[in-house]
């Protein structure tokens, strides 16, 4: 109940009591006391917000009726004020920000649900609660304050606390504190900065190489050397083209977080991806072995995205396989999921890098990545495709012994192949 409604409620209760008590007194009072009773009844009605009774209200019964009407109106005002207070509280509880309001004495008059969680929780929350109390005290005499808190968790969070005094133009009524969690915003800003820096680096390196190669080629007179320089220029141009293509593909997949859903046979996806990577496998003398799934095994999703994910797993496997080795593509069903496994016996991945290989532009060994023509975006594409289809991807690997990438996708539950 709002603080505005409390005095009105007191008056209502007082008015109802007055109606009962004064009515009884009326029947027991002598006539000379009834004028004083009428005056007191009129005063109570006026305090309840009603207009004072007219001069023609000379009978005590009329004064009592006027008081009853005034009490009814005041009761309606209390009910309306209570309803508005409840509505306001529920609305503030739905906010993402934590809200704390203190009165002029510094006591908490209101806090929404998020604030209640924040003000009495773990160690990091205790730090935030202390900062809120300090800022509320600082603005108790007026003005506003703001502070950014870095809570290292886990999980790591960034909070912005803003406090501002409340007044009615004549005096201070209290202070309000708004606590906003901007952790996700900060994370996205960091991702965006890293992305721009990485793209700039990935494009600057081959572009610089192209410039130097072209400058050297201009002054070269030996046909054999000129041919090798032209081949290098072609290779660097191809690298730039791969980076741009993968960026476009990743951007498209990220924007299609809810791609069209249709039943897709797993074998068709595997066959199409294998065909796309076969030429690269033959060039590196890697034998691609496809072990198909059951013909009726299907998933619900976007065929183009799914093919792109399997192709990038195979392309990664080809790049980091030894020459004259085998690369296995296996499809099947495990625990109610459609599963695609890509198994190689190549260089493997160090344990320290397993958690990061699905990040954009991350390479286990940047020099090795450049030598194989990798862009560092393929596995990021796989992760986004898996997320778009409510699936997952993970890797098991030992350095020097090879890697197994597993893509898990929900089965088609519609029954339509």
Across 1-15, 41-55, 168-182, 353-367, least confident range: 1-15
247: confidence class by pLDDT, cuts 50, 70, 90: confident
Same domain (yes/no): 250, 236:
yes
Same domain (yes/no): 355, 333:
yes
What span, in angstroms and rounded, lies between the C-alpha atoms of 208 and 206?
5
Number of independent structural domains in the chain: 4
Of 271 and 250, the one with more pLDDT: 271
Same domain (yes/no): 265, 384:
yes
Same domain (yes/no): 289, 144:
no
Predicted local confidence at residue 42, as pLDDT: 62
Query: Which CATH number covers residue 201?
Result: 1.10.287.130
Across 127-141, 272-286, 295-309, least confident range: 127-141
Give how far Cα 350 sits from Cα of 359, 396, 397, 399, Å: 15, 10, 8, 5
Across 9-13, 208-212, 216-220, least confident range: 9-13
Same domain (yes/no): 225, 278:
no
- The arithmetic mean of pLDDT across residues 28-39, rounded, is 55
Of 159 and 19, the one with more pLDDT: 159
DSSP state of 177: E
- 35 has pLDDT over 70: no
User: Which structure tokens are listed for 166?
Assistant: 């409340």
CA angle 99, 100, 101 (to 5 degrees): 125
Of 311 and 113, the one with more pLDDT: 311
210: confidence class by pLDDT, cuts 50, 70, 90: confident
Residue after which a domain boundary falls, among 36, 63, 91: 91
Of 295 and 407, the one with more pLDDT: 407
Neighbours of 3 (CB within 10 A): 12
Across 77-91, 201-215, 274-288, least confident range: 77-91
Predicted TM-score (pTM) above 0.85:
no
Domain that holds residue 231: 186-255
Same domain (yes/no): 119, 29:
no
- 56 has pLDDT over 50: no
| pLDDT tens, residue by residue, 160-173 | 889 998 888 778 88
Predicted local confidence at residue 63, as pLDDT: 61
Same domain (yes/no): 295, 410:
yes
User: Which of 385, 408, 272, 393 is closest to 339 using CA atoms?
Assistant: 408
- 85 has pLDDT over 80: no
- The arithmetic mean of pLDDT across residues 321-340, rounded, is 91
Same domain (yes/no): 103, 203:
no
Q: If you average pLDDT over every residue of the chain, what do you get?
A: 77
Query: Which CATH number covers residue 130?
Result: 3.30.450.20
Residue after which a domain boundary falls, among 118, 149, 181: 181
CA angle 364, 365, 371 (to 5 degrees): 125
């Amino acid at each position: 109940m709002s603080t505005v409604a409390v005095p009105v409620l007191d008056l209502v209760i007082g008015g109802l009591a007055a109606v009962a008590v004064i009515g009884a007194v009326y029947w027991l009072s002598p006539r000379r006391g009834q004028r004083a009773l009428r005056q007191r009844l009129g005063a109570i009605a006026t305090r309840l917000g009603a207009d004072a009774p007219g001069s023609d209200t000379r009978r005590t019964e009329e004064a009592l009726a006027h008081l009853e009407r005034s009490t009814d109106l005041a009761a309606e005002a209390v009910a309306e004020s209570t309803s508005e207070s409840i509505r306001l509280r529920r609305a503030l509880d739905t906010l993402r920000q934590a809200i704390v309001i203190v009165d002029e004495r510094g006591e908490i008059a209101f806090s929404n649900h998020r604030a209640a969680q924040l003000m009495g929780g773990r160690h990091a929350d205790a730090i935030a609660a202390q900062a809120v109390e300090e800022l509320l005290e600082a603005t108790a005499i007026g003005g506003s304050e703001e502070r950014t808190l870095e809570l290292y968790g886990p999980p790591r969070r960034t909070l912005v606390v803003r406090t501002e005094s409340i007044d009615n133009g004549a005096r201070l009524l209290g202070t309000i504190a708004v606590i906003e969690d901007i952790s996700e915003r900060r994370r996205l800003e960091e991702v965006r900065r890293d992305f721009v820096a990485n793209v700039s680096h990935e494009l600057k390196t081959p572009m610089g190489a192209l410039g130097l190669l072209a400058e050297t080629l201009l002054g070269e007179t030996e046909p054999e050397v000129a041919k090798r320089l032209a081949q290098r220029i072609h290779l660097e141009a191809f690298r730039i083209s791969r980076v741009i293509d993968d960026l476009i593909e990743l951007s498209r997949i990220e924007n299609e977080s809810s791609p069209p859903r249709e039943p897709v046979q797993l074998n068709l996806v595997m066959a199409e991806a294998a065909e796309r990577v076969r030429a690269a496998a033959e060039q590196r003398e890697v034998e691609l072995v496809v072990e198909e799934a059951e013909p009726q095994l299907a998933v619900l999703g976007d065929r183009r995205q799914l093919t792109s994910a399997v192709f990038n797993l195979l392309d990664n496997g080809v790049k980091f396989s030894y020459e004259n080795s085998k690369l296995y593509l296996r499809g099947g069903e495990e625990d109610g999921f459609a599963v695609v496994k890509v198994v190689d016996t190549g260089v493997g991945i160090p344990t320290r890098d397993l958690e990061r290989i699905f990040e954009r532009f991350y390479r286990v060994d940047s020099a090795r990545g450049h030598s194989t023509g990798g862009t560092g975006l393929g596995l990021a594409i796989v992760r986004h495709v898996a997320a778009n289809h409510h699936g997952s991807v993970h890797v098991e690997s030992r350095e020097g012994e090879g890697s197994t990438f597993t893509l898990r996708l929900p089965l088609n539950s519609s029954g339509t192949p």
